[in-house]
Amino acid sequence: MQILDFDSQVFLAPMAGITDRPFRALTASLGGGNIVSEMVAVNALERKNLKTARIADVRDEPYPVVVQLVGGDPALFAEAARMAVDLGAHSLDINMGCPVKKIVNNNSGAALMRDPLLAAKIIEATVAAVPLKVSVKFRKGWDHEHINAVSFARMCEDAGAAYITVHGRTRSDFYSGTADWDIIAEVKSTVKIPVVANGDVTDVFSARRILEYTGADGLMIGRAALGAPWLIGQTDAYLKSGKLPEAFLPAKIKAVLLRHIDGLCDYYGERTALQLSRKYVCWYCKGLHDAKRFREQYTKINDLEAALAAVNAYFDGLPERPAEDDEK
């Protein structure tokens, strides 16, 4: 079952502070999949907060972007949804899974799983406001005493969601333990709209497994893509062709990382880009030889030219073979 117009079962997860324009552009250039934005707060967008409007602005991106909205008020959702359309959204997703205190204390994110009536109003208001597909992303439940993903999925369907994404953890789990794929399978066997399975997909094999195990129509990859934006395109290609992807050797990783830093510079300016690049450098060299030393060295660098030289020197000094967890 095709989920969005873009012919792919694979979704890049929305990740605040990560799936910004540079990350999305890189992911798309490396083979694509369905690309989702960071979450956008509806109250800030409605107030025309400049920073938030910039996060929601996907007008000049040459690939379709699912823009994710977060909030707790149906009227604000309707208004923000209309603004997101003007800012180029290809479709909209509603965040009903974020576990962060600041968000749930505002009756938003995963808190909406405790208030399905309000959640339904939000979905209905958003669907009625825009001519785009509207999806919902949620968790297994609030905590282990309140597991309601199946009834919540039914509510989303009745309220007009085009598809749903289920992360197999409760709000109280945050990101700990393993994701429960059984609950995703249960949801899939309950609703007719497409279901996207999320939680603990780390490579092309677990991508195939989650689809087979849950029967879901698509899958979403988050943390595994942090230092590997190519994983989305690789997984898409693997699911379509059955051919195993080529290993990403250090020279190729370096090229992607340098492009990433370049994209951060264009979008944020050099100073912020250098700061942001520190976390990415840590992720890109996960499992590589001598990574610990390089990370320590990189985080101390305060100058872009020196940072780029350090990346070149580190990666050029690595053996040209796949990284098989030889981090020491």
Positions marked catalytic: 98
Please tell me the distance from the alpha carbon of residue 109 to that of residue 102, in angstroms, as a whole number. 10
Each residue 33-52 as x (binds ligand FMN by CB under 6 A) or -, in order, gives -----xx-------------
- What residues form DSSP beta bridges with 165? 137, 196
* Part in contact with ligand FMN (CB under 6 A); list of ranges 49-57, 90-98, 270-278, 290-298: 90-98
Which has the closest alpha carbon to 168: 213, 203, 135?
213
Work out whether 180 is an interface residue with ligand FMN (CB under 6 A).
Answer: no
Query: How far, in Å, CA of 160 to CA of 236, rounded?
Result: 27
Answer yes or no whether residue 223 interacts with ligand FMN by CB under 6 A. yes
Any contact of residue 104 with ligand FMN (CB under 6 A)?
no
CB 100 within 8 A of CB 150: no
Residues composing the chain: 328
Residue written as token pair 């972007």: 65
Helix (H) or strand (E) holding 206: helix 204-214
The smaller minimum CB distance to ligand FMN, of residues 36 and 311, is found at 36
Is 14 near ligand FMN (CB under 6 A)?
yes
Which member of 32, 141, 218, 222 binds ligand FMN (CB under 6 A)? 222
Instruction: Kindly report the number of other CB atoms within 10 A of residue 147's CB atom.
Output: 18
Region 134-163 residues binding ligand FMN, contact defined as CB under 6 A: 137
CA-based end-to-end distance of the chain: 44
Q: Between the CA atoms of 128, 129, 130 and 133, what dihedral angle is there, to the nearest 10 degrees?
A: -50
How many chain residues interact with ligand FMN (CB under 6 A)? 22
Among 72, 74, 199, 250, binds ligand FMN (CB under 6 A): 199
Q: Does 227 bind ligand FMN (CB under 6 A)?
A: no
> Of the two residues 18 and 273, which places its CB atom closer to ligand FMN in the complex?
18
- Regarding 195 and contact with ligand FMN (CB under 6 A), the answer is no
Distance CA 152, CA 137 (A): 11
Position 171 contacts ligand FMN (CB under 6 A)? no
Residue nearest to ligand FMN as judged by C-beta position = 222
Inter-axis angle of helices 270-284 and 291-299, nearest 10: 170
Stretch that binds ligand FMN, among 148-156, 206-214, 219-227, 264-272 (CB under 6 A): 219-227
Q: Which residues bind ligand FMN (CB under 6 A)?
A: 13-18, 38-39, 68, 95, 97-98, 137, 167, 198-201, 221-224
